[in-house]
Amino acid sequence: MKVLIVSPFENAATGRGDRNIRLERELIKRGHDVTFVTGNFDHAKKVSIPKNDLSQNTGHLVIHLPGYRSNVSLARMWCHLVFGFKLWFRCILTRWDVVVVSSVPPDALLAARFLRKNALVVDVRDIWPDAIKTYGQTSLSVRVFTLFCDLIYRLTFKRADRIMLVAPGFRHWLSHYGKFRHGQVKFVPLGFRREDFRPLSNGGDDAEFCYAGGATPQFDIREFADEFANRRGFIVGSGPLIADWQKSFPESSFFGPVPRAEAIRLMSKSKTLLFPSNPFAQLPNKAFDYFALGYPVVFGENCARATKSLFALRLRHREHVSDDWTRYQIIEKEAIAKRAASIIEEVCS
């Protein structure tokens, strides 16, 4: 089976997630011919990725992209448009058995819709344009972008052979774009990494709290300032709100963006993990990282129900001395990669 995986900003160099990387590995292991398409722009750091840092695998196709500085901007829209057009131009001559693409960015979704293929699988990992409402912007560019996303989703979702949702609540959002036949929509969460899993614990003693993630309006920890402003904390990550956070949490240490292993180490040295409100990001990567650590979590006022339910699943077993990862194996990333690969094989069987 000839499979195209479209992964604009997720690759080995960015470390922004490994869902597509694990899926590629699993499909290759099953004997399929996989092409992995990615871009050379790091969304988190807002820099171009040096060629040598990207995989030289013959099955990898790297698309060169114009960068952008702001997450909500015309420059970002242009970057996505360039990726979508180049994806279409580079891959239109090949007949694919299956094309796998995320709903974000929508331009890649549109390009994938018109590629020559037998089946299309869409992985809904975020819900644009709803998710950008957390930025509180109502500019003309945001309104245009909202109409642009809606048009693409209406053109694409009904033509998808399978739609994988990372959060069950996304079904409601998806229903805005039509009715879907039985078996067309599957729940495939992001999952936790076995190597990060630790027995349930009350946390470390080096810091009162820790937050690891982007300093953006999507996850704004200032809602915890009344309780944690004068406590020692570890804040890991970067983004436009860092300067404001430094004023709100003067006793905390700010580490900026660090390698994943270092972020996990810092989280494990704190007593409490902060999970700020974002009802649109229902089960993000952060939720599963925190789940794997098994430490106490303080939730934001408007945190999604799906996130709270995930932690409740684990904390229910706090009385058990041996908290074994196999208890939760169904949401472990290796198991999820196998489930996704089986869904992709199923559409061509």
Is 205 buried (19+), middle (13-18) or exposed (0-12) by CB count in 10 A? exposed
Query: Buried (b) or exposed (e) across 166-200, using 16+ Cβ within 10 A?
Result: bbebbeebbeebeeeeeeebbebbbbbbeebbeeb
Q: How far apart are CA 52 and CA 204, in angstroms?
A: 38
Region 87-99: mean pLDDT is: 96
Q: Which of 50, 47, 40 is nearest to 10 (CA)?
A: 40
- pLDDT, tens digit (0-9, with 9 covering 90-100), for 181-227: 889 999 999 999 999 998 888 888 899 999 998 888 888 999 999 99
Model confidence at 319, pLDDT cuts 50, 70, 90, reads low
- Report residue 228's pLDDT band, with 50, 70 and 90 as the boundaries: very high
Is the confidence at residue 282, as pLDDT, over 60?
yes
Q: What is the pLDDT averaged over residues 31-35?
A: 96
CATH no. of 2-191+332-346: 3.40.50.2000
Task: Return residue ranges of the chain for CATH 3.40.50.2000.
Answer: 2-191+332-346, 194-325
Token output for 116: 């020559």
Mean pLDDT (the chain) is: 89
Determine whether 324 is exposed, middle or buried from the number of CB atoms within 10 Å of its CB (0-12, 13-18, 19+).
exposed
CATH 3.40.50.2000 fits 194-325, yes or no: yes
Asked, as a colleague might, if the bond just before 276 is cis with ω within 30 of 0, I would say no
Tokens of 289: 């990282």
pLDDT level of residue 230 (50, 70, 90 thresholds): very high
318 falls in which pLDDT band (50, 70, 90)? Answer: low
Q: Region 102-114: what's the mean pLDDT?
A: 90
Model confidence band, residue 303 (pLDDT cutoffs 50, 70, 90)? confident
Residues 274-295, mean pLDDT to the nearest whole number = 86
Measured on CA atoms in the order 135, 166, 155, 69, is the torsion positive or negative?
positive
- Report, as an integer, the average pLDDT of 35-52: 89
pLDDT of res. 217:
83
Check residue 133 and give its pLDDT: 60
* 75-96 average pLDDT score: 94
pLDDT band at 137 (very low <50, low <70, confident <90, very high): low
**pLDDT for position 134:** 54
List, in sequence order, every beta strand (DSSP E) within 213-307. Answer: 233-236, 253-256, 273-275, 297-299
* Section 106-118 average pLDDT: 93
Number of H helices, E strands in the chain: 11, 14
User: How far apart are the C-alpha atoms of 342 and 331, rounded to whole Å?
Assistant: 15
Identify the bridge partners of residue 119 per DSSP, sorted by sequence position.
98
Beta bridge partners of 44: none
Q: Is residue 320 very low, low, confident or very high in pLDDT (cuts 50, 70, 90)?
A: low
Q: Is 192 helix (H, G, I), strand (E, B) or coil?
A: strand
The per-residue pLDDT for 163 is 96
